[in-house]
Structure 1
Amino acid sequence: MSESSPPASEPLPVEFAPAAAPVREAVTKLGGQPVWLEGPQWPLSRRTGEPMQFLGQFTLEGGALGYLFMTGDGTDGTYDPEGGENALLVQPGGSIPGFVSVRAQAEGPTVGADHLPRPAGKGGTDPDGHAWQFLGGPGIEPRWLQGEEPPGDDWRLLVQLDSGRLPFPVNFGDSGVGYAFTSPDAKEGRFLWQCM
């Protein structure tokens, strides 16, 4: 951290609770179907060519959304931010990375029903009081399970997801944690996970 950088903020733990009905607004959520802000861009698994599973969407500054997808069959390489088995796409105005192929498909496989974020309270931290699942933002740094693996300089954390605290099973390995980032210009995203 440079002398001019503000200190990192302590992240607030979140959990995801079932929504009363399908969520059709451009808000942060897990599950359900994407609420596209531009034309649909459903990512395809590099290995199989089939649509990836929708994990969720997350709000960005200025009203944009980051859409998170991952191949859901346990395919090797879902941990790799540029392996073609996961994707974090940004709309509006985002660019699709060269390692991602998409299809103009509005709906597809999902991890489950819509869930909305809420503060996790006392149950959202480990015994040392550290949050492992939280939304990113200015000054919020990831809490790495293993060594630091940012996708590039000045990429900003969008969300950190703890597989043990999610409302449905995801394959982030053994007790894994997922990390979604946006580029400095907020036009591209990357996702990776680490496990014990």
Structure 2
Amino acid sequence: MNQQIIYFPKDGKPTVIANKWQVWDGERDEGGIPDLEHGFHKVLVPFHWWITHHKNADVLDKAGKGEIGAWFAADDDILKHADIIEDAKFLWPVVGAHFPIFRDGRSFSTAALLRNRFEWQGEVRAIGDVLIDQLLQGARVGFDAFELRPDQDLGIGLKQFDLYSVTTQNSWRDTRSTQAVA
């Protein structure tokens, strides 16, 4: 669990901010979410857990207060559960897409689907085995927050966004550059 993340809003500059969200795996839940009274006050719950608990009054209460978001596993079929996501879209301030291992790129597709098909306006966070090498691609497809793997340097991560001044593909952030490069 990182104390800081890289936050890169669509129309802003990348910066390092405090991480206020606990990513919870849903295991050993003993019937409920982690205690939000001590430590972190906001939690990202696994989407598979949300599916079975989203109608519980205490879960809806905490979600309504902006204390619960959800994260999607790389193999979650979000199109299959579009109705649940549409209903929760206005409750979740943050969603995460989990990279189980850096070379598994399925979560890039999750971010793109959330932005393009679901018209997700809130934060989409990359979580799990996230390396600085993935930041530019992630920012292009729809991620605006990155919880890097603990051995990754946040300062070097920030510098990744300054590597290129011209974009050759359209992205969630903007359209490709139309100016010739000298």
Q: With structure 1 as the length reference, what TM-score do the two structures score?
A: 0.25
Larger Rg: 2
Report which of the two has the higher share of helix: 2
Q: With structure 2 as the length reference, what TM-score do the two structures score?
A: 0.26
